[in-house]
Structures are given as C-alpha cells and as structure tokens.
Amino acid sequence: MSVAKSRHFGTKKMNVDGFVDYGTDIISQQSDKLVDHVLVFIFRPYHACWIQPIAVFATSGAAPTRILGQIILRAIVSLHSVGAIVTSVVSDGAQTNKGVYKAFGINASIKDLKFSIEHPVDEKTKIFFMFDMPHIMKCIRNLIFNQKQVQFNEWLVLYKHLKSLYWLDKNYPIRYCFKLTKAHLYPNSWDKNEVAVQVLSDTTANRLAYYRDTLGVQEIIGSDDTEDMLRLLNAAFV
C-alpha cells in the first residue's frame, strides 16, 4: 500500500519517524530512505469471518526478498506462540513475493513440483504457499487479452469470442451480462489491475452457450472451449 513521504519528530520517543523500519531485529540497508509504502501482514482463520492485522512495516518500494522471508518466518513463529497455527501463506504475484517463495523452495515446475514447507515450530504441520485468487484471475485474463489465443487445459481459448459476446449482448433487447462493460473487454493500464472476475464467470459462459447453441450466432461458433474454461474458473469460487 503506497503512502506519502513524510518526516515527523516524535517528542515522546525523541526520534524522527518516516524512515524504513522492519523492526529492531532486522537490519536493512534502506534505513536511511523515506517511507513510500506500507507492508501489512494479516491473519485470517479458515473457519471464521474475521481478519486481524498482525504487523505493519514501513518500506521504500517493495520489501527486499531476504527481509520479507525473515518477516514471514517471524510472523509464523509469533502466531504459533499464542496458539494460532499457520497452514498457508497467501500473497499477490509481485516479483518479490515470487522470490520469497523460491527461497523457501517452492517450485511450480512439473518435474520438481513443491508447494509446501515444514512448519518451523511444528514438524507435523505443513505450510502451503499460494497466490490469491483475484490476482490469478487477473493474470489469466491479461494473458488471454494480450495473446488473443491461449491453450488452456487442452482447450483453445479465443479472445474474439469474449469480445463478440460483449457487443452482441450490449445490443440485445434484454442484457444478460449487464455487469460487463467496455472496460472489461478493452481495459486500459488501470483496468488491467482491477476488473477480471466478471469476465471469467459462469454468467459469461451461459451467455456464450445461449448465443452459440440457441441462436446459432456465427461469431460465437466454436466457443465451446472458451465456455469450458470459464466454468472451470468460476468453480474456484464455489
């Protein structure tokens, strides 16, 4: 999360705030830089509807991979000491996060697949590392839009089917995909970081099937693979 750079002299502690700070036990070469981002760690139980921020660190840009790994381990151990057992670490797909995963030995290669490590305190518990679903959906959407034609689980997914669907539905007397806007199908640089789930949804899949199988619209013919992919991705939220 980005913040404005600022300095503040604290009269109670008699020090200047506003510089990079990862805690007293982690040494950073960036300690003389002004803060422009905040790194937040949140604990979320599997069987409850609440979340709890557990740590906030002042950073300059993204935290370095080495320091981020140390903070993650410290958070896991600290939570375990109060009875909170960490079984998964979730982040977005930022390059520094990927670097941390690699440092922990996480590997997505089919030949050497590894997505968990042993808990540093409890050897009977595994900790799984994963990227959060909205960012995965965003990356899939951007890949389809940029490449126009993508192989997905032995299916051939075409961007033109989604684009044709938008214009067909937009001009239909009663819109079914009313949540789809031009920004979804023709996203600018800002939209590419925002809207994705509405495109890769069961609603979109249903409308593709309707125009193809019921109305026989030529532009949608051959969209079976695209429909199957949409239903598979939608099932991730069920």
More confident residue, 76 or 12: 76
Is residue 158 within 8 A of residue 226, CB to CB? The reply is yes
State residue 47's pLDDT score.
87
More confident residue, 221 or 24: 221
3-state SS of 46-106 is CCCCCCEEEEEEEECCCCCHHHHHHHHHHHHHHHHHCCCCCCEEEECCCHHHHHHHHHCCC
Query: Residue 110 is encoded by which pair of tokens?
Result: 């089919």
Q: Is the predicted pLDDT of residue 166 greater than 80, yes or no? A: yes
Q: Is the predicted pLDDT of residue 118 greater than 70, yes or no? A: yes
76-79, long-range: CB < 8 A, 24+ apart = 76/119, 76/120, 76/121, 76/127, 77/120, 77/121, 78/54, 79/43, 79/54
More confident residue, 64 or 11: 64
State residue 125's pLDDT score.
93
Query: Residue 238 is encoded by which pair of tokens?
Result: 């069920």
Q: Is the predicted pLDDT of residue 63 greater than 90, yes or no? A: no
Averaged pLDDT score across all residues of the chain: 83
Give the helix/strand (H/E) hosting 207: helix 202-209
Q: Which of 40-44, 68-72, 152-156 has the lowest mean pLDDT?
A: 152-156
Q: Where are the domains of the chain?
A: 8-131, 134-237
Half-sphere exposure for 70 (CA within 13 Å, toward CB): 13
More confident residue, 95 or 88: 88
What does the alpha-carbon distance between residue 82 and residue 190 come to, in Å, rounded to a whole number?
A: 41
State residue 233's pLDDT score.
86
